[in-house]
Amino acid sequence: MPVNNGRTAYIQAPRWPNGVVPVEFDGVFTNNQRNVIIGAMT
């Protein structure tokens, strides 16, 4: 489950070295688009 911290979502992604991927959202993304991006990265 992503953790939203302001404009950054920290995604649990085991295949990344540190296990957590910070993703910056600049507000042009809708929630649905964010879910697609998060799903693609995990």
Cβ-contact 24, 8 below 8 angstroms: yes
Q: What amino acid is encoded at 39 in this protein? A: G
- Residue-level pLDDT, tens digit, the chain, 42 residues: 555 556 666 666 666 666 566 666 555 556 777 778 778 876
The tokens 């990265």 sit on which residue?
Answer: 41
Can you give the pLDDT at residue 6? Answer: 60
Can you give the pLDDT at residue 38? Answer: 74
Q: What residue numbers bound the domain in which 12 lies?
A: 3-41
Chain centre to alpha carbon of residue 14: 13
Q: State pTM to two decimals.
A: 0.29
How many domains are there within the chain? Answer: 1
CA–CA separation, 6 and 40 (whole Å): 21
Can you give the pLDDT at residue 7? Answer: 61
Can you give the pLDDT at residue 5? Answer: 55
Can you give the pLDDT at residue 41? Answer: 73
